Amino acid sequence: MPCYNEEQVLRRTHDRLGHALRDLPHEIVYVDDGSTDGTWPLIRDLIAETPADTPGHVVRGVRFSRNFGHQAAAVAGLAEATGDAVVLMDADLQDPPELIPSMTEQWFKGWSIVSARRATRHGETRLKKSTAYLYYRLLARLSDQPVALDTGDFRLLDRKVVDFVTSLGEKELFLRGAISWTGYPETSIAYERDARGAGTTKYTLRKMLALSRTGILSGASALPLRIPTCLGAASLVGASAALARGNVRQAARFGSFGAQSLACGVLGEYLIGVFRQVQDRPPYLVMERTDSHRSTDSHRGTGAQAPLARVKEWA
């Protein structure tokens, strides 16, 4: 759970989380993303209040040296967590902890990714709701992989997805994009998104714009870089049409713009190649293996059998 200046709400979140998870062995990892209020002392208090001798009920805290942003804190939390499945959630009670047992149930059924889809959003400005609505749809249109609509970072991830995402090492990671990119079996649960428990949003407009940019860029979409190619090609068609009509001046104007735009498009194509290479995602992910000597290695694929066994052992 990434926390940035959440002292007003964190204790309530902690209590509700503890109540929702009372029957599930769990570990709570708070990542303090460089808070300047009393968030870190509060996390220390919550840890001090947790009995050290209850196996399966652990609370841990990690503190950043400064504010690195929500995505960085989320990845740090995933890297710190040791469970067979990890749930990523906000600290402000907009992600209801009571949903976690249902998410876990879906995981037991074999889903590797269980995302929580916002059926309704309360307590958010009309501007935020409409920009989020449009942005999710734009992202889905631009991305090469399917993007779950109206789904934030509140989701359960199987260990193999967590391992993959934390091993990527991308400097500008867009978590949701990377998670969908894996292609592991994903399902979703609809929920009502409440208003913030207390305090104000920590996602400033600047942070939101930066996240949107990262989403489109690392969503591995080459489309924006192809805009000059499309414009250039259209202009050259316009130039030919103008020439056919005998309008030489217009043809020259269209032609010179088209040529420049196409040249940019060529650079764009190389940039796409360089970007993909630098991003360095593996060319494929194997989900299951089988051969004539062994039975199907299914738990590696579905994440269902091994975790269940371990949870039972632990509980």
Residue whose token pair is 């989380």:
17
- Kindly state whether residue 211 participates in binding ligand UDP, applying the rule CB under 6 A: no
Q: Residue 178, class by beta-carbon neighbours within 10 Å (0-12 exposed, 13-18 middle, 19+ buried)? A: buried
Choose from ligand UDP, Mg ion, none: what does 173 bind? Cβ within 5-8 Å by kind: none
Residues forming a β-bridge with 26? 57
Instruction: Indicate which single residue of 29, 30, 33, 184 sits in contact with ligand UDP (rule: CB under 6 A).
Output: 33
Question: Which residue number, 8 or 240, has a Cβ lying nearer to ligand UDP?
Answer: 8
Instruction: Indicate which single residue of 32, 92, 95, 186 sits in contact with Mg ion (rule: CB under 5 A).
Output: 92
Instruction: Indicate which single residue of 25, 69, 77, 301 sits in contact with ligand UDP (rule: CB under 6 A).
Output: 69
Question: Which residue number, 17 or 91, has a Cβ lying nearer to ligand UDP?
Answer: 91
Choose from ligand UDP, Mg ion, none: what does 73 bind? Cβ within 5-8 Å by kind: ligand UDP
CB 256 within 8 A of CB 306: no
Question: Which residue number, 77 or 185, has a Cβ lying nearer to ligand UDP?
Answer: 77
Question: Which residue number, 64 or 184, has a Cβ lying nearer to ligand UDP?
Answer: 64
Q: Find the helix or strand (DSSP H, E) in which 57 lies.
A: strand 57-63
In angstroms, the CA 90 to CA 70 distance is 9
Choose from ligand UDP, Mg ion, none: what does 3 bind? Cβ within 5-8 Å by kind: ligand UDP
Cβ neighbours of residue 145 closer than 8 Å, sequence gap 6 or more: 177, 180, 181, 183, 219, 220
Choose from Mg ion, ligand UDP, none: what does 203 bind? Cβ within 5-8 Å by kind: ligand UDP
Instruction: Indicate which single residue of 5, 94, 214, 261 sits in contact with Mg ion (rule: CB under 5 A).
Output: 94
CB 55 within 8 A of CB 28: no
Choose from Mg ion, ligand UDP, none: what does 186 bind? Cβ within 5-8 Å by kind: none
Instruction: Indicate which single residue of 50, 67, 229, 298 sits in contact with ligand UDP (rule: CB under 6 A).
Output: 67
- Kindly state whether residue 91 participates in binding ligand UDP, applying the rule CB under 6 A: yes
In 10 A of CB 179, how many CB atoms? 25
Distance of closest approach, residue 97 Cβ to ligand UDP, in angstroms:
13
Residue whose token pair is 């929500």:
70
In angstroms, the CA 252 to CA 246 distance is 11
Instruction: Indicate which single residue of 108, 135, 203, 275 sits in contact with ligand UDP (rule: CB under 6 A).
Output: 203
- Of 108-116, 166-174, 201-209, 307-315, which segment contacts ligand UDP by CB under 6 A? 201-209
In angstroms, the CA 22 to CA 41 distance is 24
- Kindly state whether residue 94 participates in binding ligand UDP, applying the rule CB under 6 A: yes
How far, in Å, are 103, 124, 303 from residue 298 at the CA level? Answer: 21, 42, 8
CB 216 within 8 A of CB 255: no
DSSP string of 192-225? EEPPPSSS--S--HHHHHHHHHHHHHHTT--HHH
- Of 84-92, 109-117, 271-279, 280-288, which segment contacts ligand UDP by CB under 6 A? 84-92
- Residues interacting with ligand UDP, by CB under 6 A? 2-4, 6, 33, 67, 69-70, 73, 90-92, 94, 201-203, 207
- Residues interacting with Mg ion, by CB under 5 A? 90, 92, 94
